[in-house]
Structure 1
Amino acid sequence: MHKVRSVLLFTTIYIGEIKKQREMAAAAEVKAMLKEAFGDSSSESDGEPSRGMRRRARISDSIDEIARPLSIFGDSHTWEQINEINGLWICREFLSADQQSSLLSSLEQGGYLAEGSLNQAMRFGDLPPWALELSQIVRENILFSTGFFESGDRMHRKNEEECLFPSQLLWREPLFNQLIVNIYQPGEVSDSLKPSLLVLLEIVQGIGAHVDLMRFEDGIAIVSLESACVMRFSPVEASSDSVELLLSPGSLVLMWGEARYLWKHEINRKPGFQIWQGQEIHQESRTSITLRRLCPTPQH
Structure 2
Amino acid sequence: MEEEIEENFGEEEEESDLTRRILREAFGDSSSESDHGECSSPIGESFSLLSCQESGFEIPIWEPVHGIQGLWFCSNFLSSENQSSLLSAIYQDGWLADQHNQAMRFGDLPKWALELSRRVRSAVCTGNIRAGSEVNLSTRSVRNDPLPFDLLWREPLFDQLIANVYKPGEGICSHVDLMRFEDGIAIISLESACVMQFTLEKEKEVPVFLNPGSLVLMHGEARYLWKHGINRGPGCQIWDGKEIEQKRRTSVTLRRLCPSPSC
TM-score (norm. length: structure 2): 0.77
**In the TM superposition, what is the alpha-carbon distance from 1:297 to its structure 2 partner?**
2.6
- Please tell me the residue identity of whatever aligns with 1:185: K
Residues 50, 116 of structure 2: 8 Å contact kept: no
The one-letter code matched in structure 2 to 1:233 is F
Structure 1 residue ranges without an equivalent (≥5): 1-18, 41-67, 148-156, 188-204
2:188 and 2:215 in contact (8 A); partners too: yes
- Segments of structure 2 that go 5 or more residues without pairing to the other structure are 1-23, 130-138
Match of 2:48? Answer: 37
Question: Which of 124, 141, 147 matches 1:165?
Answer: 147
Shift of 1:215: 0.2
Supply the AA of the counterpart residue of 1:297.
S
Contact kept in structure 1, 2:28 and 2:39, CA below 8 Å: no
Q: CA deviation at 1:117?
A: 2.9
**Pair 1:106-2:92 in alignment:** no
C-alpha change, 1:216 and 1:29, in structure 2 (3 Å) is farther
The 2-side partners of 1:292 and 1:70 are apart by 27
Match of 1:218 among 183, 192, 195: 183
C-alpha spacing 1:279/1:39, structure 2 compared with 1 (3 Å): closer
Tell me: higher relative CO, structure 1 or 2? Use CA pairs within 8 A at least 6 residues apart. 2
Secondary structure (helix, strand or coil) at the match of 1:259 reads helix
Aligned to 1:184: 166
Match 2:80 to one of 92, 97, 117: 97
**Whole-angstrom CA distance in 2 between matches of 1:221 and 1:298:** 21
How far apart are the structure 1 equivalents of 2:217 and 2:38? 24
Q: Distance in 2 between matches of 1:87 and 1:293?
A: 17
Aligned pair partner of 1:86 in 40, 46, 69: 69
**How far does residue 22 in structure 1 lie from its aligned partner after superposition?**
5.6
Greater C-alpha radius of gyration: 1
Q: Percent identity?
A: 55
CA contact (8 A) 1:142 1:164 kept: yes
1:232 and 2:197 aligned: yes
Name the residue aligned to 1:43.
Answer: none
Give me the whole-angstrom Cα distance separating, in 2, the residues matched to 1:254 and 1:238.
22
Structure 1 equivalent of residue 106 of structure 2: 124
> Contact 2:36 / 2:57 at 8 angstroms: preserved in 1?
no
The answer on 1:23 being equivalent to 2:35 is no
- Distance in 2 of aligned mates of 1:298 and 1:104: 33
* Structure 2 counterpart of 1:214, one-letter code: M
Q: Does 1:256 align with 2:219?
A: yes
Q: Does 1:293 align with 2:250?
A: no
Q: State the SS of the aligned residue for 1:242.
A: strand
- Is the alpha carbon distance of 1:39 and 1:262 closer, same or farther for their aligned partners in structure 2, counting shifts above 3 Å? closer
Instruction: State the 1:182 CA deviation.
Output: 0.3
Q: Which digits, 9 at most, give the CA deviation of each residue in 1:232-278, with x for residues without a partner?
A: 0000x341x10000000000100000100110000011111101111
Sort the Cα spacing of 1:248 and 1:31 in 2 relative to 1 into closer, same or farther, 3 A: farther
Distance 1:111 1:219, change over 3 A: same
Q: How far is 1:31 from its partner?
A: 5.2
Distance 1:173 1:255 in 2: 18
> Quick check: 2:107–2:159 contact (8 Å CA) kept in 1?
yes
